[in-house]
Amino acid sequence: MDLPTPATPLRIGTRGSPLALAQAAEARDRLADAFGLAGEAFEIVVIATKGDLVLDRPLKDIGGKGLFTREIEEDLLSGSIDIAVHSMKDMPVRQPVGLLLDTHLPREDARDAFLSRACRGIQDLPEGAVVGSSSLRRRAQLAARRRDLRFVEFRGNVRTRLEKLEAGAAEATLLACAGLNRLGVKDAPARPVETDELLPAVAQGAIGIERRADDSRAARMLEAVNDAETNAALAAERAYLAALDGSCETPIAGHAVLDGGTLTLTGEILRPDGSEVICDSVPGAAEDGAAIGRELALRLLGRASEGFFDWRRI
CA 100 – CA 212 distance, rounded (Å) = 6
Residue 188, φ and ψ in degrees, nearest 5: -85, 145
Spell out the alpha helix ranges (H) of the chain: 18-35, 50-53, 59-62, 70-78, 136-145, 158-166, 177-183, 216-223, 228-243, 289-303
Q: Is the pLDDT of residue 120 over 60?
A: yes
Q: What is the pTM of this model?
A: 0.90
Asked about 90 being catalytic, the answer comes back as: yes
Residue-wise pLDDT tens digits, 169-193: 999 999 999 999 999 998 889 999 9
Among the listed residues 82, 90, 102, 310, the single catalytic one is 90
pLDDT digits (tens, 9 = 90+) for 143-174: 999 999 999 998 778 888 889 999 999 999 99
pLDDT above 70: residue 230: yes
Q: Which pLDDT band holds residue 85 (cuts at 50, 70, 90)?
A: very high
Asked which of 36-40, 120-124, 233-237, 302-306 is least confident by mean pLDDT, the reply is 302-306
φ, ψ of residue 176 in degrees (nearest 5) = -75, 130
Q: What is the CA radius of gyration of the chain?
A: 20
List, in order of start, the domains of the chain with CATH numbers. Answer: 10-105+206-226 (3.40.190.10), 112-193 (3.40.190.10), 240-313 (3.30.160.40)
Tell me the one-letter amino acid at 269: I
pLDDT at 33 > cutoff 60: yes
- Angle made by CA atoms 284, 299, 102, in degrees to the nearest 5: 55
Chain centroid offset of residue 25 CA: 18
* Nearest in space to 24 (alpha carbons), one of 224, 206, 181, 207: 207
User: 10 Å Cβ neighbour count for 57?
Assistant: 11
Confidence class of residue 121 from pLDDT cuts 50, 70 and 90? very high
Strand order in the sheet with 99-104: 42-46, 10-14, 83-87, 207-212, 99-104
With vertex at residue 131, the alpha carbon angle to CA 129 and CA 133, rounded to the nearest 5 degrees, is 165
| CA distance readout (Å), 119 to 175, 219, 289, 311 | 15, 47, 38, 33
